[in-house]
Amino acid sequence: MAELDLALGATLFALGLIGGFTSGLVGLGGGIIMVPLLLYVPPALGVGALSMKLVAGMTSVQSFFGALSGTFGHKRHRRVSRSLAVTMGGSMALGSLAGSIASVKLSSELMLGVFAAMALVAAVMMLLPKTEDGPELEAAALVYRRPLAIVIGGGIGVLSGIIGQGGAFLFIPAMMYLLHIPTRIAIGTGLVIGLASSTAVLLGRAGTAQIPVLMSAVLVAGVILGAQLGSAMSQRTPRTALRSILSVLIGATAAKIGYELLLR
């Protein structure tokens, strides 16, 4: 396990800033961003190496605070559907808690494999065409299939709990392409849903002593600041650009993690 010194602490803060900004911008920034950053950047800079188990514990804390900070930013712009957040978030929270508790018995290799598989599914989903013309729909007027939202939330929640973060890289594309939710509402509501599932994951990790407190605190300090900056920028970014950013981030991470997994 890496020890926290000044160089590693500064690196964790900077990575938290990057992850928080991305979280606020496109609703991602938990595992899809932070897992590869925490796994590969510290050793590349020569400041330490973090195991997948350690990274999973840290991202459970980072995902919670990133979603919390980003939610406040998007709520100010009325991009959050309370109904969808409660429906999908509730089933995700239950699934995440179950997956998080079960994860203590899983190996780092298996956890990394689950992560790669989830990222690949999300990347393929983002390749599907999506047309959004005309004025943007108000979150309060949103209509969606509630039973489908519950099923999707529960299934993604179990897998998210296993890898220690909210799973936004999968449920945001699922909202956009399976539930047909507009892009900005999917991003804003996705942060709230991520907050619900991340809370459950955090409780499961904390209850099984899998969280490095000091490292997580430094990471979160950067996350909170970055998420506020990202949520403000998200409102000024075209919808097509937001979807493109999502697609690139998910696809690149799926390819990178899959490649590293094959080398093991």
| pLDDT given at position 238 | 86
Indicate the range of 78-87, 106-115, 137-146 predicted with least confidence.
Answer: 106-115
| pLDDT given at position 42 | 93
| pLDDT given at position 257 | 66
Q: Which amino acid is at 51?
A: S
| pLDDT given at position 30 | 64
| 212, 57 contact by CB (below 8 A) | yes
Tens-digit pLDDT profile for residues 47-60: 988 888 888 888 88
- How far from chain centre, in Å, is Cα 170? 8
- DSSP category for residue 154: H
Higher pLDDT, 96 or 227: 227
Mean pLDDT confidence for 104-126: 76
| 118, 159 contact by CB (below 8 A) | yes
pLDDT at 249 over 60: yes
Distance from C-alpha of 38 to C-alpha of 23, rounded to nearest angstrom: 16
Tens-digit pLDDT profile for residues 157-200: 887 777 765 677 788 888 988 898 888 888 889 888 877 767 77
Residues in Cβ contact with 106 at an 8 Å cutoff, skipping those fewer than 6 apart: 162
Distance from C-alpha of 114 to C-alpha of 152, rounded to nearest angstrom: 17
| pLDDT given at position 150 | 93
Handedness of CA 57, 59, 61, 64 (dihedral sign): negative
Give the three-class secondary structure for 47: coil
Q: Which amino acid is at 45?
A: L
Tens-digit pLDDT profile for residues 224-233: 999 889 988 9
Beta carbons within 10 angstroms of residue 19's beta carbon = 31
Quote the percentage of the chain above a pLDDT of 70.
Answer: 91
Tens-digit pLDDT profile for residues 119-134: 778 877 777 777 776 6
pTM above 0.75, yes or no: no
pLDDT at 23 over 80: yes
Mean pLDDT confidence for 107-126: 76
Q: Which DSSP helix (H) or strand (E) runs through 221?
A: helix 213-234
| pLDDT given at position 164 | 64
Beta carbons within 10 angstroms of residue 193's beta carbon = 35
- DSSP category for residue 27: S
pLDDT band at 1 (very low <50, low <70, confident <90, very high): very low
- What are the sequence ranges of the domains in the chain? 6-263
Quote the percentage of the chain above a pLDDT of 90.
Answer: 17
- 205-244 exposure pattern, b = at least 16 Cβ within 10 A, e = fewer: beeeebbbeebbbbbbbbbbbbbbbbbeebeeeeeeebbe
pLDDT at 70 over 50: yes
Residues in Cβ contact with 91 at an 8 Å cutoff, skipping those fewer than 6 apart: 149, 150, 151, 152, 153, 154, 157
Mean of all residue pLDDT scores within the chain: 82
Torsional class of 51: left (φ above 0), alpha (ψ -120 to 50), beta (otherwise)? beta
| pLDDT given at position 120 | 77
